Structure 1
């Protein structure tokens, strides 16, 4: 059937629906457009990152031996001389890079971000710039990052490197910042030498492990007025790895050269943690990093694990705000990821098998976050028919209202063919959610273009 202009009714309805989305939320315009041949590697990588939506964060180091989290050196005021007794005890014989990556893949994750050097200064890779690393200073004597890089290539998972700019061990990290005052270091050092050291290690990470997804910096906040030469550092990464993305967990507005913006323990714009004060950058991909319990590194006494439902809500809440979720695990000293983490990851993976189309490749939807939940959208004026998904996260919500510009659209419970009943409401149209449309964790409604008149 065609309208008077000769356009098929279904096509016309789809175009009108896409225009309504654009009018309602201009930020969705062209978000899911296909990549163009002239796009740069960096632009393609950013688009891939926005599509990926879910990653695994891994905090692992010699601090795991103490079972008190990655900040134990600072929190327990352990001097360097004492802390250096840990590497000779570190022998993670149960570390299996292939199993780590397969677990991430089963969870529906598309990338892994792993700590290569944390604030304690110990390197979890084979650095030629220091012997304070896992190959030279431990009985394990192997490079787990090299094994992880190979496993990621095998299973087509992208690998990102976490790197701490802050260093409680290096003698040239001086002047000191806000932390690490009880290490026993002398109050002297050559800052320029430290910058050369850390930039040399960044160069190693970008050279010795094949193609990487990006570099995830942390620790700038310890000494924000220092001459970090971030511009030079970012240039090194982009020259050596044109498709790598740079992010920096500094909690302020993004700096030039950064490719995505992260929010720690927070959804963008919420700042419940108290230090994510920067607004979300309109031009950059976003990421929320989140612990599964209350700790980043292995903490033997921390059993405050989020439920699978809470994890799903975090993933959906991030997607509804245009962000990825980077969900953390803290492996044990022997290199194994504990069952408390694995069970939750696999449960979320099973949920994504049925609901992943509403997350992967999506962008934040045209309806901003509401008390009932969020919206995501796919195909908004791009290569596929636009489809809005309403994620109803509150089990006691029986009705939601679409804005007036979407009043002619059709809504279905995800995976079902019977449209929801609608009634006129102030400012739009009300959708009624029947009991049999309810789903565990997240009741998802698919909102599409109006059905063509079949008369």
Structure 2
């Protein structure tokens, strides 16, 4: 059975969640010490590197090519409305000038700058909402219990770069709360707090209560900040689907996080997805009422690869003509039984039919036109030239030009009589 938000459900959501849902499309950025070995963000775990060995990347980290303005400008060119940056990944290396550990980019690297401060300022200047990712799991902090990390055949009790037999998770939670307080108070408006990976933590009620206290602090400091579901589900405003798109909309706000390339962190041998693939994913997600958080992994110099950038710009050009069918829309009905249609999105008075192919007979049949149709046109047509529409019982037949105006991403607008 397909579940969709009722109007009552939408109306009852907090304002911060409704505003976040309107944005639809954001940029995820995974960047840290792991960009130096260029084998992905899990390289420390994959190669079993102790903290002393992995930490040798810190004095090598001097990304002279980093330019916050360029990153934010690329997100804008892609049509993205918000940005989420990895403040601390599983390796524990902090990408801001935290006072709570010297294991950070300002104190431990020759770079000596705070990229979060620069990105937050640029997002404010260029009109994007800034957010931070924070890994609960930490392979560096000794009070993060090894048993709460990922277990494999190689690491049956979990992996930690600096294991400690008497690790105290509550002390680690104090550290986490202190760092989040820094992030929530030192960088202006924070629109998203994106937690990641908590292993077996938060199964105990005292841990869950501590998590609730942290979420309360976040909302006291940043009332408009949305929080995902990876703090043991505590305080979650939305759920996260990773590297997959759900088959249908769920009954809660959701976001799909996916990568432009294969890995989250920079990997030298990754294959980059092309623009049409990203457009199809965006349409699929928007049609199911979700948000799309699309990741790039800058290299050790702080540069986003040109192939990734080119694919993002192609999405942006499509959104320049068709963004009305994505930003600010709600989910439409399932297109499971609709030939040539990939998805539908809605806003008051309009429905947007996203084509996945141009029909050979020049006709699109839509069997879920449940209101009075007053017109149809191709969204990318600046003249809004009317398309002939034959109205049937709760369905319409739309006649199209012989040739598709674009090779991918054509959108038909159906206008409805307002009630």
Q: Decide which of 285, 288, 292 is 2:256's aligned counterpart.
A: 288
In 2, Cα distance between equivalents of 1:256 and 1:70 = 26
Q: Decide which of 256, 263, 267 is 2:245's aligned counterpart.
A: 267
SS of the equivalent of 2:228 reads: strand
> Once the 2 structures are TM-superposed, how far is the Cα of residue 410 of structure 1 from its aligned partner?
3.1
Q: Partner of 1:345 in structure 2? A: 312
1:377-433: CA deviation from partner (whole Å, max 9, x where unpaired): 112xxxxxx1000001134575332226347553322233222343748x7333344
Q: Which runs of 5+ in 2 are unaligned?
A: 151-157
Q: Partner of 2:211 in structure 1? A: 230
In 2, Cα distance between equivalents of 1:308 and 1:120 = 31
Q: Partner of 1:377 in structure 2? A: 346
In 2, Cα distance between equivalents of 1:107 and 1:184 = 40
Q: Decide which of 339, 348, 357 is 1:394's aligned counterpart.
A: 357
In 1, Cα distance between equivalents of 2:330 and 2:121 = 31
In 2, Cα distance between equivalents of 1:220 and 1:104 = 29
1:136-184: CA deviation from partner (whole Å, max 9, x where unpaired): 1101111111111111111111100000000111111115224252635
SS of the equivalent of 1:85 reads: helix
Q: Partner of 2:378 in structure 1? A: 413
> Once the 2 structures are TM-superposed, how far is the Cα of residue 43 of structure 1 from its aligned partner?
3.1
In 1, Cα distance between equivalents of 2:343 and 2:178 = 43
SS of the equivalent of 2:256 reads: strand
In 1, Cα distance between equivalents of 2:5 and 2:70 = 39
| Greater length-normalized contact order (CA 8 Å, ≥ 6 residues apart) | 1
In 2, Cα distance between equivalents of 1:75 and 1:370 = 43
CA gap of 1:435–1:223, structure 2 versus 1, over 3 A, is farther
> Once the 2 structures are TM-superposed, how far is the Cα of residue 258 of structure 1 from its aligned partner?
1.8
Q: Decide which of 310, 324, 336 is 2:291's aligned counterpart.
A: 324
The 5-angstrom pairing of residues 110-129 of structure 1 reads 110-129=81-100
Q: Partner of 2:70 in structure 1? A: 99
The 5-angstrom pairing of residues 308-319 of structure 1 reads 308-319=275-286
In 1, Cα distance between equivalents of 2:127 and 2:226 = 17
1:101-155: CA deviation from partner (whole Å, max 9, x where unpaired): 1111111111100000000111011111111111111011111111111111111
Q: Decide which of 75, 84, 87 is 2:46's aligned counterpart.
A: 75
In 2, Cα distance between equivalents of 1:256 and 1:186 = 27
Are 1:141 and 2:112 matched, yes or no? yes
Conserved in 2, the CA contact under 8 Å of 1:32 and 1:362? no
Are 1:215 and 2:197 matched, yes or no? no
Q: Decide which of 321, 327, 330 is 1:363's aligned counterpart.
A: 330
Conserved in 2, the CA contact under 8 Å of 1:64 and 1:332? yes
Q: Decide which of 20, 23, 33 is 1:52's aligned counterpart.
A: 23
Q: Partner of 2:407 in structure 1? A: 440
TM-score by length of 1: 0.81
